[in-house]
Amino acid sequence: MSNTNIRKIVECAIMIALATVLSYISIFQAPMGGSITAFSQVPIVIIGYRYGFKWGAFTGVVHGLLQMLLQGLGNFAYVKGIGSYLILIFMDYLIAFAVLGIGGAIFRKVIKQQAVAIGIGAALASLLRFACHFISGVTIWGEYADGWKSVWAYSFGYNGFYMLFEGIITVVGVVALSIFFDFKKPNLIRTKS
């Protein structure tokens, strides 16, 4: 294994650990799951921007798996059937967090200005993560839609509320960090142009 790959693996592990720690710093906790955290999506988006789709998606999936094991195992008690379990695993955890790394990678070669590329990527990643939770909300969490006009409105409102703020915090975080760091450089040092 090359030194470059070892470095990437170590960085991914560090960013997964950082994202996991930040996920415990909750600004707002929704009553039935979902929370607004202190920049917990930022490390995964940055890895995607630094190293591309494969590394970003891999890092997101591992982080999603940790989220499921550390914070989400209790959710399995509320759903029944293999289909519901699969939707829970993939839409609330694995795919939902994989898109964060993918979102970070989308515009890295298309838009030259780092802050713009990673900011738009973070916004898109948050939107894709919302879409995953929205699908999960409609398909397996619909029984909690009492008082809502429809399960669609319930899932949109419930997931949209916390994901909107989570997305804004993520965009602000990656754009602010991109002012000080050059994520495409191995040493992250920004040179004046």
Residues β-bridged to residue 28: 36
Residues β-bridged to residue 37: 26
Number of H helices, E strands in the chain: 7, 2
Q: Is residue 120 part of a domain?
A: yes
DSSP letter (8 states) at residue 192: P
33: Cβ contacts below 8 Å, ≥ 6 apart: 72, 75
Strand, helix or coil for residue 41: coil
Q: Is residue 190 part of a domain?
A: no
Q: Tell me, what's the pLDDT at 193?
A: 58
Q: Is residue 188 part of a domain?
A: no
DSSP letter (8 states) at residue 145: -
Q: Is residue 108 part of a domain?
A: yes
Name the stretches of the chain with pLDDT < 70.
Answer: 192-193
Q: Is residue 64 part of a domain?
A: yes
Task: Give the predicted TM-score (pTM) of the model.
Answer: 0.94
CB 121, CB 175: distance < 8 Å = no
Cα dihedral 121, 152, 161, 167 in deg (nearest 10): -10
The whole domain housing 83 covers 3-180
CB 167, CB 123: distance < 8 Å = yes
CATH of the domain at 39: 1.10.1760.20
Q: Tell me, what's the pLDDT at 41?
A: 98
Cα Rg for the chain, rounded, in angstroms?
17
CB atoms within 10 A of CB 69: 10
pLDDT digits (tens, 9 = 90+) for 8-63: 999 999 999 999 999 999 998 887 777 899 999 999 999 999 999 999 999 999 99
Label residue 109 exposed, middle or buried (CB < 10 Å: 0-12, 13-18, 19+): exposed
Q: Tell me, what's the pLDDT at 145?
A: 80
Strand, helix or coil for residue 112: coil
In the chain, how many domains are there? Answer: 1
* Closest CA relative to residue 136, chosen from 92, 76, 72: 92
Q: Is residue 110 part of a domain?
A: yes
95: Cβ contacts below 8 Å, ≥ 6 apart: 64, 132
CB 46, CB 104: distance < 8 Å = yes
